[in-house]
Amino acid sequence: MLRSSTRLCSLGIVLVLVGCGEPVADPKEKEVVKGVARAKSLINSTASNPMAALSLASMADQGGTIISYIAASLPDNETFTCYIEGARPRPYCVTVRNGPGAGEYVIEGYGAGIDKPLATATAVATMPKRH
C-alpha cells in the first residue's frame, strides 16, 4: 500500500511540474515555421537534384513562378499550403520574394501578427544550363 501511494504521489508531482512549463506555442505557427524550412529546402534542392531543376525550368517556361514550383512539389497529403509571392504578408502564411542576387529568394513565415516574421530564410534556385 505504501509503495503504490508513493508512486501515485510521484506521478502527481510530475504532472504538476509538466503543467508549470512554458505554454505550448500556437500549432499554426509551428506549421508556418515548417513551411519556411520546406520552401527553403525545395528551392535549394534545384542545385543538387536535376529533376527539381528541370521541374522549376518547366514551370518558368510555362509562365509559372517560384510559388507554382513550390505548390507542385508539395506532397499530396500536405496540410500547410499557404505560400504567397510578393512583399505583402498574410497571417499564418509563408511569403516568398526575390532576393538581391540572381535566383535568390527571401522566405518569411508569419503568424497571427504580420509585423514581424516568425522565421526567415534565404534560398537560391538553380536553373539547368541550356545547350
10 lies in some domain = no
75 lies in some domain = yes
Residue 25's SS3 state is coil
pLDDT of residue 7: 44
Band of the pLDDT at 131, cuts 50, 70, 90? Answer: low
Band of the pLDDT at 2, cuts 50, 70, 90? Answer: very low
Phi, psi values for residue 109, rounded to 5°: -110, 130
111 lies in some domain = yes
- pLDDT average, residue stretch 38-42: 97
Report the chain's mean pLDDT, rounded to a whole number. Answer: 84
pLDDT of residue 46: 95
Task: Tell the burial category of 46 from Cβ atoms under 10 Å away from its Cβ (0-12, 13-18, 19+).
Answer: buried
131 lies in some domain = no
Residue 104's SS3 state is strand
pLDDT of residue 127: 85
- pLDDT average, residue stretch 84-111: 94
78 lies in some domain = yes
Band of the pLDDT at 129, cuts 50, 70, 90? Answer: confident
Domain count, the chain: 1
Is it the case that residue 80 has pLDDT exceeding 50?
Answer: yes
130 lies in some domain = no
User: Burial code of 9-27, b = ≥16 C-beta within 10 A, e = fewer?
Assistant: eeeeeeeeeeeeeeeeeee
Residue 46 is given by DSSP the state G
Residue 108's SS3 state is strand
- Could you tell me the residue range of the domain that residue 67 belongs to? 26-124
pTM over 0.85: no
